[in-house]
Amino acid sequence: MDDPPAPEKDTVYLRANGVSLLLDPRSPGLPEVVHWGADLGDLSEETAAAVAAAAPYGVAHGALDARPPLELLPHPARGHLGRGGLVGSRAGRAWSPLFATTAVSRAEEGQAGAITVEAVDEQAALSLRSELRLTGQGVLVMRHTLVNDGDDPYDLVSLPVQLPVPARASELLDLTGRWGNERVPQRTTLNHGAWVREGRHGRTGHDAPLLLVAGTAGFGFRDGEAWAVHVAWSGDSTLWAERLPEGPTALGGGELLQAGEVRLGPGEAYSTPWVYAAHSARGLDGISHALHDLVRDRPQHPRAPRPVVLNTWEAVYFDLDPDRLLDMAEQAAQIGVERFVLDDGWFTGRTSDRAGLGDWSVSEAVLPSGLGPLIDRVVDLGMDFGLWVEPEMVNLDSDLARAHPDWLLAVPGRLPPEWRHQQVLDLAHPDAWEHILDRLDELLTEHRISYLKWDHNRDLIDAGHGEGPGVRAQTLAFYRMLDTLRSRHPSVEIESCASGGGRVDLEVLARTDRIWASDCTDALERQSIQRWTGLLVPPELVGAHVSAPRNHQTGRTLDLSFRAGTALFGHFGIEWDVTDATEAERAELAAWVAAYRELRPLLHSGDVVRADHLVDGTELHGVVARDRADALFAAVQTRTATASVPARVVLPGLDPSRTYRVRPQPPGDSPRTMERATPPWLAAGEAILPGSALARVGLPLPILAPEQLLLLRVTAVVGD
């Protein structure tokens, strides 16, 4: 047998958009990650080698005689005492892998680039390929692929991706939540030990951290240095941060596998999910800018203006009267709606959430003439037509479940606990997959449907496929179905809805056109939900709807200006029976729709900015154009202020060397206030100030009443 090719021994240095990565492949194992973080500048090969040579830690008393290297995939066999290594065996053998690099190749992409590392463990009969790509946006994208080179099966338990971070990353931030209250931030100190987040929902989860961020003490949206990782996977997953007494600190993540879920036969391979890693020297906004730019640079990213949506769910629920729907469509078109979406209740047997899932044919009892007349009228009114589906689920009270009980995702001999009176259809079963694909394909072929609201209303619990666990197979089958539908119907847009924000990750977004951030449409709750969802997802992909005056989830009553001003900073829509609205409400809503249609080129292409250190219930966020010539900010009062006069607010993200005109933006220019006189600049109708002053001195706001917002349009003075 020929010897494997000798690996490249030069250090590998990549840099892009303020971020750099330095690898040292000179160790006997896998390359060491010398640096991932702030740009080190234009290093020569000699300088990069010198940095790598100077980086290793010393050896402490009471420790190994030689330090364990900080490899791409750490090895316990080389002394690594933390998380992050390959775990698996051949029936108890080959349990302690020891890979040696055989090749390191590099592909240039301007200042960015891609690296592939090939390695083998001949004794364990395993091969490993590690792929790293530093994108033009400065985002590091990584994954591992493991190949079984042996003659007997290899049972894989864990194959994560991890990266080191420096000791100054002393605080952690991630997100938690529940149905109706997704994306709740939480912080902790990064002490010795591991902070581990495991998602076992069979989908990303309402409590998904989205990103795990390590940062310098007190880091915020605009301040501090931060490192973040995201696992792009819609099944079970894990993220962690770990600090060891021996020195190294790391962020990592990957797929969370069940026992027996991945058994590699001879020659078979397993690839981890892609892990996205971002660094920022300017707080969380810098992380978001890099990730948003990366998402927007995808070939499949929606390029057309994001249409104003009206969804029927909170308007009528299961009461789908054809005449009422036609009336609603007429009113929607007059308001300026561009996409009319018929939600749950349109198919056979579906008069509540207890029956019908799986029987994807139009209910003659609900729509005696079928979908055709409604779709025709919607299209004649100048709107797209969208339809709600939940293809992965099934009610036991359905023709499908009665005919094919073997198509359920379950351990043989028992059913998982019900959730919303439904079970999960095993899409890894070839016949079930083909049946659902055929029904969806038929719907999209026979009708002028431009949009699918794809729902997923329960976790996968006790999810068996055949004799083994089924979450991984289900996730891959779901991806394959989306890919197939998109190839057959490339013009149809798809929303990832999972009882709200239960399936939000970059892998599902590679196949869909927006996410539904939460089933909670209360605008006050949505201020926080949308703010933190925006850490990862750009606003044009986040569904944000204007709900009824008295919200259906919380019972809170909010002004239309607050509800619409909140929805403005996402993919704007309406979740309200507009036929019940007054003429004045419809006129005001139409004004907000017109404002959204005017502002969406800015809102859906600029940098999202969020202010830090605001007090007294005041929050400020906005979008600044990439050329810094235009911006829209929202000052939001979430509760009654303690101080009688609020502090000035600064406007982040502007060019300090330019002069700007600041004006209230209609129709969000007339909030209720709690003052006798407005600030002088506001009484005058505008302020013309340098960007440096707006960023440092700021502007006084009116004393906003609770649950009010003020929109501010900021434009560069022509000729400045």
Give CA 63 to chain center in angstroms. 41
Q: Which of 344, 519, 607, 630 is catalytic?
A: 519
Tokens representing 704 are 């906003």
Q: Is the peptide bond before 667 cis (omega within 30 degrees of 0)?
A: yes
Cα–chain center distance at 487 = 23
Q: What DSSP designation does 606 have?
A: S
Q: Within 10 Å of residue 488's Cβ, how many Cβ atoms?
A: 13
Q: Checking DSSP bridges between strand 571-575 and strand 542-547, what pairing results, if any?
A: parallel
Residue 152 designated active-site: no
Taking alpha carbons only, the member of 69, 37, 39, 17 closest to residue 215 is: 37
**What residue has token string 């702030």?**
38
DSSP 325: H
Give the bridge partners for 624, in sequence order.
607, 631
Task: Tell me the helices (H) and strands (E) count for the chain, helix number first.
Answer: 14, 38
Q: Encoding tokens for residue 96? A: 């302690």
Which position among 207, 285, 343, 455 bears the catalytic label?
A: 455
**Residues 401, 585: Cα–Cα separation, whole Å:** 45
The 10 Å Cβ neighbour count of residue 10 is 16
For the CA atoms of 308, 313, 314, 315, the dihedral, rounded to the nearest 10 degrees, stands at 80
Tokens 């990782």 belong to: 229
Say if residues 412 and 469 touch (Cβ distance below 8 Å): no
Per the annotation, the verdict on 455 as an active-site residue is yes
* ∠ Cα 598 601 602 (to 5°): 95
- Looking at beta carbons, which pairs linking 635-638 to residues 24 or more positions away fall under 8 Å? 635/701, 635/704, 635/709, 635/710, 635/712, 636/527, 636/566, 636/708, 636/709, 637/671, 637/704, 637/705, 637/706, 637/707, 637/708, 637/709, 638/524, 638/527, 638/706, 638/707
Written as one letter, the residue type at 519 is D
Output phi, psi for 599, to 5 deg. Answer: -90, -15
568 vs 565: CA distance, rounded Å:
5
Residue 120 burial (CB count, 10 A): 18
Cβ atoms 462, 419 nearer than 8 A: no
Are 604 and 635 within 8 A, CB to CB? no
| 8-state DSSP, 523 | H
Judge whether 654 and 624 are in contact, CB under 8 Å. yes
Please list the active-site residues: 455, 519
